[in-house]
Amino acid sequence: MIRLGAIRIVVPGNFRFGCFPIFLTSFSSLAFDDLGCLTALNELAVFQNSCLQGALGSLGNILTLSYSADFLSVVRRATFLGFDQRSLLKTCCGIGEPYNNNGNRSCGSPGVPVCPNPAQYIHWDGIHWTQEAYRHIPEILISDILSKIQCVW
């Protein structure tokens, strides 16, 4: 890409997937952090992002984005952003406690309900975010990118 004339390339890192209801349901025996997310899976995402940044950092002109930090920013500011504090780690489309997620009865299956207020949820179906959650990520990413390339917004 650089040989073809690209000035800067942006490579996204991983989300902290230890906060996703599908993994919270599947690995409920692991340790949790202060947000109720799986510590080991979040540490794995941070490690992967660190390795990615280290490998790409030596190439110059390549920026890595920290989806991990961006996701945590959304979760930590959830109430301010309009999300229901009681549903931060629950899915809007799903069934089962405590995360409204069941691997045997996923979103779209017969009898699996959808919440009446998706904009108050971060997670749609256990692995995907709601449109409202995705709406906040560009706000955070754009300021992150612009600061890294010393561009004034």
**Beta carbons of 16 and 72 less than 8 angstroms apart:** yes
- The answer to whether the predicted template modeling score (pTM) of the entire model surpasses 0.75 is yes
What are the structural domains, with CATH classification, of the chain?
9-145 (3.40.50.1110)
How far is the C-alpha of 135 from the C-alpha of 82, rounded, in Å?
12
Which is more confidently placed, 153 or 93? Answer: 93
Residue type present at position 93: C
pLDDT above 90 for 1: no
Query: Residues of the chain with pLDDT > 90: what percent?
Result: 44
